[in-house]
Every structure is written in C-alpha cells, then in structure tokens.
Chains A and B, each alone.
Chain A
Amino acid sequence: MLIRIFSLIFLVLASAVPPLAQGTDPKPLIDALAKANFKQAEELIAEVAATGDPRVVAPLEAFAEGDLYARKADGVVFIGRSAGSQIALVDPLTGAEAGEVAKSAATKIKVNNNLRRAIRASLGGLTLMSPDRGARLQAATAILGAPSAENLQLLEAALAKETDAEVKTRMEEARAVSLLSSDRSLEEKRAAIETLAAKGGRKAISVLRSAQSSVDEGLKDDLDKAITAIEGELALWDMAQNVWYGLSLGSVLLLAAIGLAITFGVMGVINMAHGEMVMLGAYSTFVVQDVIRSSAPQLFDWSLAIALPVAFLVTAAVGLAIERGVIRFLYGRPLETLLATWGVSLILQQAIRSIFGPTNQEVGNPSWMSGSFPLGGMMVTWNRMWIILFSLSIFFALLVLMKKSFFGLQMRAVTQNRRMASSMGIRTPWVDAFTFALGSGIAGIAGVALSQIDNVSPNLGQGYIIDSFMVVVFGGVGNLWGTLVGALSLGVLNKFLEPWAGAVLGKIFVLVLIILFIQKRPRGLFALKGRAVEA
C-alpha cells in the first residue's frame, strides 16, 4: 500500500515537475539528500531526475549502491569509495576528487528498497533522454521488458524528441506496453494493442496475456484478436525455422551423400570407407589451419578456401589408391567390395587415431562463418547459411561436370554400357579410377564443411555413413537429382519429427520409414528406367 502511495506521489511529481525543473542545477538537490528522510529522499530523487541533466546518473547509481556520503563538517554530499580506514570522496556531478576523510567524518546516506526502485525508474527515464543512441535503445528495451505506468510520462517526453527511427519504434512499443497498465482512455489502449500486435513475438503475447486480467471489458476482444494474430504469425515463423533447420540438416546430408551418389550410384561400388573420406577431409582442414596458425595467422580467414583444394587432393589420392589397390579386383562382386572397403575404413580410422590421437581436434570458425543474424522471427546462423549455399554449389558444379564435360560424358558412357564404351576407345579402367577418385575428393570437400559444425575425431565418418546410404537409396541410385531431393526431404522430415518425438526417436522413425519406403519402391524416388535397371 505504502509503495502505491509513494509511486502515486512520484507519478504526480514526475508529471508535474519536469517542465519546471528542466535546466535547474541538480547540485543543491543532491546536497539536500543529506538531511532528507526516506519520503523526502524519494521526492528529491524525482526532482534530480527531472533536471534531465545527464551528469546526475553517477550520483543516483551511487545512491542505489549505498555509496553516497555526507561530509559531517559541512553537510556536502559526495560519492565515497572506502579505502582502508579512509573514505575517498569524489564530487558527485563532476567526478573530481575531493580528498580522503576518516570514516567517522562522513555519514552514509541510507537507502532502502523503495528508494532503489525509485532510482531505477528515474534512471530508466534519464537514459531515455541520453544523447547516446545505444543507451536510449537499451533503456527503451528495458522498459519494454518490465513495463510500468510510471514510465509513461518520461517515454512520451522522450518520444517527442526522438529522431532515430529504430529507437523511436522501440520507444513506441515500450509506451504501448506501459500504457496498457495505466489509466488512459480506451482509444489509446486500443491503439497500443494494435502497436503491440504489429510488433509480434513471444514477449508481446505475454504482455497482452498479463494485461488480459486487468484491462477493461471493452478491450478483451481486441486483446484476444491481437493474441491470436500474433500466435498465428509465431506458428508460421516456427514452421519457417523448422524448415530452415531441416534444410540445413539436409544440406549436411547432401554433402555427405553426394560423393557416395557417384561411387555407389554411378559406379555401383559400395564404398563403406566413404565416411572416412569425409573424416580425412576434416583432418586436412585441421592440418591446414594448424600450419596457418603457426606460420601465417593473418591468412586464418582464408583457411577454409585453402583447405578445400588440399582436402580434395588428399582424399582423391587416397580414393585413387583404394580403387587401384583393392576395388578394381572386386568389380561385379558388390558384397565383397562392401567388406573390403569396410576393412579399409577400419585401417584409415586407426591410422588417424595413431597419428592425431583419439581426441577431438579443434577446428576454428573463420570470422565470416561465426555469429548469426535475425531474419524476421527466426535466427539464421552464418555457418549453416554458408553450408547450405556450399552444398548446393557443389551439387550444381558436379551436375555440370557430369552433363557437360568430356570426362562426364565418358563416365556416363561407361556406366551405361561398359563394353561399348571400351570399343569406342574409352579407357574404362581409368574412367573407373578417376570416377572413384572424384567421389572420394567430393567427400573430402564435404569434410571441410562438416569440420565447421561437427567434432573432428576419428569417428567423424561413422556417424554419416548410414545416413548417406539412406539418402542415396531413398533418392534413387544413379541419379544426382534424386540425391538432392532425398537429402533435403529427409532433413526436413527429421526436423519436423523431432519436436513431438525427440531427436533419437525421430531418427528411428525416419529409418523405419525409409526401410518401409524401400519395400514399396526398391529403386528409390527417382528410379532409373530401362535396361540399366537389370544390369
């Protein structure tokens, strides 16, 4: 009750005093604090704040902290910092040092919670007038977060002077929020509700909800309408965010699977070591960054661009070696290929573990990949954004390579009819070898991107191999478009299942769905038609 009375007094004062007090010297008001009781102090705080003098922020803050002292000798008020048995006094307005006195020579000005609240409110109002744009924005945001009718006057005064568009909108929203709990007219409140509905967001909903109990009967409908409008919008944004997460996951799957789409899809080779190629790519990134850190730190932002060709070459070379050393003896025996490449994957994993150790390696994010930006009602992180763009560009580059280049032509010729291609003078063994190297190299590039969002450890590849196979099988073997559609739809499906099933169960559902899907369409979404099917 007391608080109400005080705040009422404060309200009256705050509304009455500002035009009068503006421009007066705050110094005598602060000095008067020395002899004031709590009630008087509250009035004085309001008067001090009403001077609109930005210098009064320091003494008010000190007051709230209990650092305001009155010198016994003359009753002048200072900000004091205790220094041993002495107190170092500072002029409250100018900040000039005023010497040290013994603790007994100064009295602390007492403060209670009621006063602190008053100080905080006044400070909010004061910073609203601050010449610093950031401080004003912050003050308006603070009021938006904790609205009270007390700030209304100050807000309106500040609004009248405000020129910055962003700060002005924020202030208007804060004013609308504060208005709802004040005793203004219905029309004004209705306008305030509209302002809030236009702003949207979860905060607006909670403000409107809390207003629902106290607001006049006539406004209830407007409130309900505003809340449903905001909720509808929020649901839409949630959906958009989910789709975005799904696309992001899908692009990761696409990156991991696209190399596999070449080796498995085009060549029909089951490469269980594919995940390890991704892992090698990630480790190449680590090594490149390590070298850059130690020898040319200014290049760090370029490290990923440098790592891309390195990772491609390293993994393509390993892939070439695997094809020449193992796989070429096993063409036409897909199950044996599966086993042999699994063996290769074990060896590669253990080799990396022996060289770099079993722990996670730290791969840094370049500055242009960290952070995020808001897009409407959702947050978009830069690294996800880049990975989506990156995987799509890899996809289209590969598509062009397959459809437009001479090597792509040879590759397709060998896939469709090996003997005829051989008769036309194509060296089929070398086409096989380079196709496999290309698929592996792409996996390595994927590793560079995945090193940015996943732990770089010897087990990195294991996590992707089953998912990648699922993508390729789901999308349809031997069709790059199928891989794209498969990856993105599996990613989105996964993210939509997650909220109501949980991450793990969602993944299980997806696996079961794919297993069922394969029963229905054993050749995937985009099945090859014609003779190639039976080959």
Chain B
Amino acid sequence: MITRFVLRALDGKIVVAIGILLAIALLVPALNLLVPLESAFHVPTYAVSLLGKYLCYALLALALDLVWGYCGILSLGHGAFFALGGYAMGMYLMRQIGSRGVYGDPVLPDFMVFLNWRELPWFWYGFDMFPFAMLMVLVVPGLLAFLFGWFAFRSRVNGVYLSIITQAMTYALMLAFFRNDMGFGGNNGLTDYKEILGFPVQAAGTRNVLFAMSAMMLALCLLLASGIVRSKFGKVLVGVRDAESRVRFLGFRVENIKLFTFVVSAMMAGIAGALFVPQVGIINPGEFAPANSIEVVVWTAVGGRGTLIGPIIGAVLVNAGKSYFTGAFPEFWLYALGGLFIAVTLFLPKGIVGTIQQGWSGRKAMKAAEDAEKGRDADVLPQAAE
C-alpha cells in the first residue's frame, strides 16, 4: 500500500524535483568540503548555511501550499508552527550547552539563572534527549493545529475569518513568548548553542550535514505531500477547496479532511523550524510576527499555489532576492516586497510554475485539439469511404 502511495506520488515533475534536491544535498557539501578554497566552484560555509535556510523556508512554503493550494485554507499563522518547531529544537540545543554557559549552571540555561530561577520549569524536562525533542518538534505544532482546527473547522469558520483568526493566533503567541516569565528566554529567545548530538554547531562539517538534512527532509516532505494530493484523499481535498458544501453534501466529513491536512501541514512547518534553528543559531519571538507568516504566503503565491514545486521555487527566489536587496539597497526591499505582493495577485495569480504549467497544458490541449481535428478528419474520411 505504501509502495502504491509512493508510486502514485512520483509523477514526472516531482521525480525531477526530488532528484534535484538529492543532488543538491550531495553536491553543495561536496563543493564546500572537497573543492579547494581558491577554486571558482568552492562554496563558502556561510553560503551553505544560507542555502540551508532557504531550503527550510521552502519546506515551510510547501507546508502552506498543502493547506492553501489544495485545501483552500489561507493560514496567516504558519509562522507560528514554524517557530514552535524551532523552539522545540532550540530547547534541546540549550540543554546541550550544559555548564558551558556564561553562568556555568549545569542544568539551567543562562537566561533562567539571570532571572533567578531555582529549577527547570516542567515543560523543559526531557528536552535534553534528542529523540524526545524531535518528537516535540512534531507534536507541539501538530497539537496546536489540531486544537485550533478542531474548533475552527467544526464551527465552519472559513475564508477570510479563518485567515484573520490564524493571524490573531500567531500574534497572541508572539506576545506570550515575548514575556520573560513564560520560560522561553523572552525577548532574546534561545541562542548561543554549542553542539548538536555532540557535534559543534558552528563547525563546517555540521553545517553541511544540516544542509543535506534540510534538502533530504524537503525531498521527503515533497514526496509525502505529492502522495497526499495524488491519492483519492487528495481529490476530495481539492473538492473541499473548490466546492466545500457539495463535498459535504456528498457525505464526506469536510472538517476531518481539513483537520488532517492542517495538522500534517503544521508538522511539516515544525520540521522546517527545527532544521532552521541550528543553521541560523537563534530562535526568538520575532519569528511569530504576523508579518513573517504573510511573507510565507507571498513565497507560495509567487511560485504558484497548488503546484507543490512552485512554493519551493518561490521561497528560494524571494529569499535570494531579499538577501540581495537588503544588502545592496536596504531602502528598496520593502518596496520590492510590497510590489511583489501586488504584482503577483494582479498579474500572476497562478504563480510562476502555475503559469508555465498553464502555458504547457494550453499548448498540449491545442495540440490535442489539432490532433483530434486531424484524427477526426482521418476517421471521417475512411468512414466516408465506406
């Protein structure tokens, strides 16, 4: 059954995309570690982390595409799931610092010592174990998405109302995480990591492994998402997007379908956050900012929603643009981003990939029509000959 699921997931474009991702996962670390420094093909270590960051964003955009592109839920709070996954990872990394912090406390992270806390809060227990932390990366965003979706989809909150309350959700979380007494480092967040699974976080080798992990995880999630949308379930999902009431009248439990997709998507976002944190070296409440979540939406929109590959391309393109502009013309970036929002919605509603696909299938359809015309002629002639 799983084989069938995978096989159905692997249509041509997805195979190519996964192939490229796996190739990058090998190629970039190889270019960084094996190619000598002076070579033109050498990839500097900072670039490896930067690319890794883009891939995490791409995974976040992919997660959003699953709910927005295929289920019609425009979540303006996906940044919250991303940040929660990041915090789970950050907590593990904080516990790994051990007594090497500034205050040298063997158990308590520095900020807790600074705030005169005597013991670890209960929700920090277990985060010194990697498997537990990884479980939490999935469980915490998944649980939040489940609770939120349970209430929201059941009472049929949809459309812009849902968007606005997801935005309120991430806003409330941001305010909460900014508080010092929440026990997550307040304003400064979690930072100053030393090592992950015993490997130093800053080392080039670790960074390359993290990069490769990001690329492979993205490939895996792409496979999963593709499997979901190409299964029978995926067809119903698209039905929910296009005509929710009709699907409900056909006897499907729309709220359960939405809930499942929302939770899966939130978990993907959590994974993206968890991979993001060790590569960037910090997680702070700013990640919860509503503006971040909306930016994710524009990556997805630029690439093309409902295409799975589009969001990946969009995320990488927009973030590469952001890195370039904020360096070269810092004033200009917000104009460019704002203009991008407007231009994409007005002129490119299907995004880059969507538009290309449309052109492609348009040409295919035309060709098919031509063929059909010829064929019909061909068919008609013999008939006439009979």
Contacts and interface: CB of A to CB of B under 8 A. Distances in A.
A522 B151 contact: no
B168 A470 contact: yes
B168 A340 contact: no
A385 interface: no
Interface string B154-172: 1111011101110111011
Contacts of B171: 466, 511
A338 B298 contact: no
Chain B binding surface, main DSSP class? helix
B345 interface: yes
Contact of B161 (A337, A354, A473): A473
Contact of B168 (A347, A515, A519): A515
A342 interface: yes
Given A335-B163, A346-B334, A522-B156, A507 B341 contact: no
B341 A340 contact: yes
Contact of B337 (A330, A346, A516): A346
Contacts of B148: 515
A146 interface: no
Nearest to A505: B179
Contact of B334 (A333, A339, A349, A518): A349
Interface in A353-367: 353-354
Given A466-B290, A504-B175, A343 B342 contact: yes
A520 interface: yes
Contacts of A241: none
Interface in A480-506: 504-505
B151 A336 contact: no
A343 B341 contact: yes
B242 to A, nearest CB: 14
Contact of B175 (A340, A351, A507, A520): A507
Contact of B346 (A329, A466, A515): A329
A62 interface: no
B224 interface: no
Contacts of B291: 462
A469 interface: yes
Contacts of B168: 466, 469-470, 511, 514-515
A345 interface: yes
Chain A binding surface, main DSSP class? helix
B36 interface: no
Given A330-B346, A349-B334, A339 B298 contact: yes
A518 B297 contact: no
A344 B338 contact: yes
A342 B294 contact: yes
Interface string B99-119: 000000000000000000000
Interface in B116-156: 148, 151-152, 154-156
Interface in B60-76: 74
A330 B342 CA distance: 11
B331 interface: yes
Nearest to A472: B164
A270 B160 contact: yes
Interface in A431-456: none
B172 A512 contact: yes
A508 interface: yes
A340 B346 contact: yes
A152 B79 CA distance: 70
Q: Which one of A354, A469, A507 has the highest number of Cβ atoms from chain B below 10 Å of its Cβ? A: A469
B328 to A, nearest CB: 16
A334 B167 contact: no
Instruction: Give chain A's interface residue range (CB within 8 Å of chain B).
Output: 35 or more
A324 to B, nearest CB: 13
B341 A339 contact: yes
Interface in B68-94: 74
B178 interface: yes
A157 interface: no
A329 B339 CA distance: 16
A342 B155 CA distance: 27
A99 B163 CA distance: 85
B48 interface: no
Q: Which one of A338, A345, A512 has the highest number of Cβ atoms from chain B below 10 Å of its Cβ? A: A338
B338 A522 contact: no
Nearest to A522: B157
Q: Which one of B152, B165, B291, B331 has the highest number of Cβ atoms from chain A below 10 Å of its Cβ? A: B165
Nearest to B151: A519
A481 to B, nearest CB: 20
A522 B158 CA distance: 9
Contacts of A350: 331, 334-335, 338
Contacts of A329: 346
Interface in A279-304: none
A349 B334 CA distance: 8
B345 to A, nearest CB: 4
B281 interface: no
Contacts of B176: 504-505, 508
Given A339-B301, A518-B157, A508 B341 contact: no
A329 B348 CA distance: 13
Contacts of A340: 341-342, 345-346
B26 interface: no
Contacts of A466: 167-168, 171, 290
A335 B335 contact: no
12 contacts: A333-B345, A334-B160, A335-B159, A337-B345, A338-B160, A342-B294, A343-B345, A345-B338, A347-B342, A508-B175, A514-B165, A515-B169
Given A505-B179, A515-B151, 4 more contacts: A333-B345, A340-B342, A469-B164, A511-B169
Interface of B: 74, 148, 151-152, 154-157, 159-161, 163-165, 167-169, 171-172, 175-176, 178-179, 290-291, 294, 297-298, 301, 331, 334-335, 337-342, 344-346, 349
Interface of A: 270, 326, 329-330, 333-340, 342-347, 349-351, 353-354, 462, 466, 469-470, 473, 504-505, 507-508, 511-512, 514-516, 518-520, 522
